[in-house]
Amino acid sequence: MKAIILAGGAGTRLWPMSTEDCPKQFLEFGSEGSLLQRTVKRLLQGSFIDEIVISTHANYVPLVQEQLREFGSVIKILEEPCRKNTAPAIALAVKYLEQERSAKPTDAILVVPSDHLIEPEAVFLSTVELMEETAQTDKIITFGIRPTKPETGYGYIEVGDKVNEGTYKAVRFIEKPDRARAEELFQDPRYFWNSGMFLFSIATFWRQMEEHAAHLHSLTSCSYTELVRRFDTLPTLSWDYAVMEKTNDILILPLNVFWSDVGSWDSVYELLQNKRLEELPTAWECVQ
């Protein structure tokens, strides 16, 4: 299995601590490193993952390099020349793995954001490993989180019939709801939070792109070097909008873990109350 970490976002929801110059993936919460460093450490524990790449905006490459220093040279940093959202970023990373690292069409690819907290990590990793064979079919696996409250800052996924090994057919995606709708979704056991993590084979990725994002697929049907050169001509598209909201080939796997994208001060407060973080973020130096 290969893993792609998306670290190019310019999140500002934790302003003034998280800024465009130093977004939250580079901030430290507690004493265990930044969210990016925690993500890297988490994936390095997965013996079934034999390659990890980080895709990030050109402006953040020095920050990523600094934070990866403790890991040596085992992680490849891919530079996005400009910000084009997640679909082009994933395409760039998949193309690199294919052409520069000889990844095969049947290889499973795990895509994760760089700014999430997941506990216990062993449960997450064992669950992902169990899904590798399923990912080598023609399906996209996404990971759902059981809501713990009515949340307007997350997208939701409706689950349908059970398929196998704890996976369910994904019926539809719902974008960030208003408060009243979030209350309804919270009460309905069919709905899970969309974690923004995906698992698919390389062949499935390109097939889904060709079917549902044909223009982007045609622009990325070139060498890795050429794709880097023409990256600024690509449309700005999220993976959710380009493919996930259009395809019928999605399986949802509910994750039995604690999960947070640390996307608001409310979530930071809840983490502190739950004693999952021992102290306020130590990254004010990064901001200042």
- Domain positions in the chain are 2-136+195-233+260-287
Using the CB atoms, write b or e for 44-56: b if 16+ within 10 Å: eebeebebbbbbb
Separation CA 98–CA 222 (nearest Å): 12
Cβ atoms 36, 286 nearer than 8 A: no
Separation CA 190–CA 46 (nearest Å): 30
Nearest to 35 by CA among 14, 51, 49: 14
Enter the tokens of residue 196: 């923004």
Which secondary-structure segment (H or E) carries 41?
Answer: helix 35-44
- pLDDT of amino acid 33: 82
Separation CA 32–CA 267 (nearest Å): 18
- pLDDT of amino acid 148: 87
- pLDDT of amino acid 72: 78
Q: Which residues contact 287 (CB under 8 A, 6 or more apart)?
A: 16, 17, 18, 19, 22
Nearest to 86 by CA among 199, 237, 245, 220: 237
Q: Which CATH number fits domain 2-136+195-233+260-287: 3.40.50.2300, 3.40.630.30, 3.40.30.10, 3.90.550.10?
A: 3.90.550.10
Nearest to 88 by CA among 96, 142, 59, 65: 96
Q: How would you write the pLDDT of the chain (288 residues) with one tens digit per residue? A: 999 999 977 666 655 555 566 667 877 766 678 889 999 999 999 999 999 999 999 999 999 999 999 887 789 999 999 999 999 999 999 999 999 999 999 999 999 999 888 889 999 999 999 999 888 888 999 999 999 889 888 889 999 999 987 899 999 999 889 999 999 999 999 999 999 999 999 999 999 999 999 999 999 999 999 999 999 999 999 999 999 999 999 999 999 888 887 655 566 556 555 544 444 333 333 333
Cβ atoms 247, 140 nearer than 8 A: yes
Separation CA 170–CA 159 (nearest Å): 5
